[in-house]
Structure 1
Amino acid sequence: MQTQTILFASRPKGEPTAAQFTFKTIDVPLPQQGQVLLKALYVSVDPYMRGRMNEGKSYVPPFEVGQPMEGGMVAEVVESQHPKLPVGSVVVGSLPWQEYSLSDGRGLQPIPADQAPLSYYLGLLGMPGITAYFGLLDICQPKAGETVVVSGAAGAVGIVVGQIAKIKGCRVIGIAGSDQKLAYLKELGFDETINYKTTPDIAQALAAAAPNGVDCYFDNVGGTISDAVYNLLNKHARIALCGQISNYNATEAPVGPRPEGKLLVTSSRLQGFIVSDYLPRWPEAMQQLSEWYQQGHLKYQETVTEGFDQLPAAFLGLFHGENTGKAVVKVAEPSSR
């Protein structure tokens, strides 16, 4: 059979464009012994994928020019020669950007089809939710009554961070880029919100929102927003360094205030982390996140784009703040429903 795939065409300089992607029709053979044929249902687009477009060593291998893009995907088994993955199974894993693909089953995790929307296994109950869980609870270790600041608060990770902080009894300040996003954060229980695009003085706004200083900072964006937060750190503050999306498309190393002095005088801890560091503990996070979701303590929003051909546009939209919550692309409905 034939299927469409999206190839990584060239490495970008600065912000990626549609020129980085090429569509191609390829043959997909039928599965042999130990293999399954998968139909893509939902595909995740994530900021970390920008780093994979660069050449050089990182925590995940770079995309290869001329080869298919790949990322998180929920897919359905439509033909099977695999003893543990029968037809009709729904799985999540890192897969090539193809409407149909072959797999030997390695790296695929079967997921229940009736406990939450399938796309949530790319967001709230997947990598972003798990990132929020460990970054906040393991690194920031928030205590009731403390002030938690979340940058990129309306993104896939940020909305979960803020809600977990509220579960733990904290005062939560969310920073996002539109009034619509701020309104949604208020619905989720955030105590204070700041629109970084329309606020003339971020440092002043943060100081007003956090009169007692900042105890925990979950950093998704870096840049001038983080510079402002560092000025408000309390003694023994904790910072989880999750992302730096404000710098991902920079062509030169950014120069700005250096945080070391602030960290020194406040005895604060700054720790970068990658969610795969916690891979052995993922089941713990998924179980707790699922419980909180079932109990109504966690709400989630997605920005769902329809159509396989819209994958590049959905990815590029991440760098312009077009998504609230998790950005996913819906490719197809499950055959079994």
Structure 2
Amino acid sequence: MAPVTNTKVIFKAIPKDWPVIGEHIVYDTSSSIDPEEHPLDGGILIKTLLLSPDPSVRGRMRDPSVKSYAPAFTLGEPIESRGVSVVLRSETEHFKEGDYVVGMIPWASYNVFPSHAKLIAINNENRLPWSYYIGLLGMPGQTAYYGLNKIVNIKEGEKLFVSAASGAVGSVVVQLAKLRGAQVIASAGSDEKIAFLKEIGVDRAVNYKTEDLDQALKEFGELDAYWDGVGGPTLDIALANMKDFGVVAICGLISSYNDGENQYGVKNISAILTKRLRVQGFIVGDLVEAEGGTHAFQEEVGPLVVEGKIKFKEHYTKGIENAGEALLGVLKGDNFGKSVIIVADK
């Protein structure tokens, strides 16, 4: 087989605020690969099918001297995120040709991984969409499940506020909380997203762009818990409406990821003391590790997905050449549901 272009999306420069396509994120077609002859050295060759432009990608576009829970991207190398690929060739017993695998995938059309790669072969016996394994059944769904169980510990009758509630994580939080008998008020930024929130059963849906969020929360009643995916002024408003000894679970701060040195300063921080709140940021990987894996998630959420009891929106971008635009869309909130980059069919 003749060599084919191995298209890549390269991390070219560190942005101070909003990433710019062509400056910080570069589409590169200078590499080629022969899928039949490229040496594997005991590893596997995979073809990228789907990529997940998660908000956390922005956090890794930084100077490596700035420490965080995930390492900074290497300048001149492909961006990476969770993705689904198919194994084209294998020289290891751990994977076979035709396996669909999920894991951290460099943004390239083809990748070679060593035999000990941290990839998981997908057992899709229920013929679910492959995209679910980077969404509803992947990191976003697991974040909702473990955060709700281990951080919030929501109970029947309690009042929960969920921001970014139409998104990949928030929409699952809403539905799992409703299944546990919670009262849920949720916010989103368009009438279309508000309609979806009503469809999945929220008790009060608030368009924060056209309604007074603070007034809506006051009318709903003091909150037992707040699920924060945005930070900024929304966090301030939530803190002012919390019940004494309430819980604030922070899984994202997307409103400030591109603010550079102009980070929003929380003004109601005194409420943490006066209301004796428990505010906890978390990364789902820590919770999964503490649990010894995702078995509980698979046993509880898996059947709900198969039975269609959890509704899930996806937002598709076709072509790896549009991956940068897909990431910017997520950071701006232009996507409706889980953003998925479709790189190739099988």
TM-score (norm 2): 0.92
In the TM superposition, residue 77 of structure 1 has moved relative to its aligned partner by 0.4
Distance 2:259 2:146 in 1: 28
Distance 2:155 2:307 in 1: 22
8 Å CA contact 1:44–1:329 kept in 2: the answer is yes
Distance 1:183 1:270 in 2: 30
In the TM superposition, residue 235 of structure 1 has moved relative to its aligned partner by 2.2
Higher mean alpha-carbon deviation, 257-266 vs 119-128, is at 257-266
Distance 1:181 1:197 in 2: 12
Residue from 46, 58, 71 that aligns with 1:61 = 71
Residue from 7, 11, 25 that aligns with 1:4 = 7
Asked if 1:23 is matched to 2:34, the reply is: no
Which amino acid in structure 2 is aligned with residue 9 of structure 1?
K
Which amino acid in structure 2 is aligned with residue 97 of structure 1?
W
Q: Name the counterpart of 2:170.
A: 158
Distance 1:83 1:169 in 2: 46
Q: Name the counterpart of 1:261.
A: 270
Asked if 1:284 is matched to 2:284, the reply is: no
Pairwise CA RMSD:
1.5
Higher mean alpha-carbon deviation, 219-228 vs 318-327, is at 318-327
Distance 1:257 1:76 in 2: 45
In the TM superposition, residue 33 of structure 1 has moved relative to its aligned partner by 4.4
Q: Which runs of 5+ in 1 are unaligned?
A: none
Aligned residues between the structures? 331
Distance 1:255 1:324 in 2: 25
Q: Name the counterpart of 1:36.
A: 44
Which deviations, in whole Å up to 9, do the C-alpha atoms of 1:68-114 show, x marking residues without a partner? Answer: 11111100001111212111100001011011111124110011234
Q: Which runs of 5+ in 2 are unaligned?
A: none
8 Å CA contact 1:45–1:327 kept in 2: the answer is yes
Which deviations, in whole Å up to 9, do the C-alpha atoms of 1:278-318 show, x marking residues without a partner? Answer: 23332322332212212332111100111111111100111
Asked if 1:73 is matched to 2:78, the reply is: no
Which deviations, in whole Å up to 9, do the C-alpha atoms of 1:248-270 show, x marking residues without a partner? Answer: 11122535444442122222211
8 Å CA contact 2:235–2:266 kept in 1: the answer is no
Which amino acid in structure 1 is aligned with residue 77 of structure 2?
Q
Cα separation, partners in 2 of 1:257 and 1:94, compared to 1, 3 Å: closer
TM-score (norm 1): 0.94
Q: Name the counterpart of 1:112.
A: 123
Higher mean alpha-carbon deviation, 274-283 vs 218-227, is at 274-283
Distance 2:281 2:311 in 1: 26
Residue from 264, 270, 284 that aligns with 1:275 = 284
8 Å CA contact 2:40–2:112 kept in 1: the answer is no
Which amino acid in structure 1 is aligned with residue 100 of structure 2?
V
Runs of 4+ aligned residues of structure 1 deviating over 6 Å after TM superposition are none
Distance 1:255 1:317 in 2: 21
8 Å CA contact 2:155–2:182 kept in 1: the answer is yes
In the TM superposition, residue 64 of structure 1 has moved relative to its aligned partner by 1.3
In the TM superposition, residue 223 of structure 1 has moved relative to its aligned partner by 0.8
Distance 1:320 1:254 in 2: 16
Q: Name the counterpart of 2:236.
A: 227
Distance 1:164 1:305 in 2: 28
Q: Name the counterpart of 1:125.
A: 137
Higher mean alpha-carbon deviation, 187-196 vs 292-301, is at 292-301
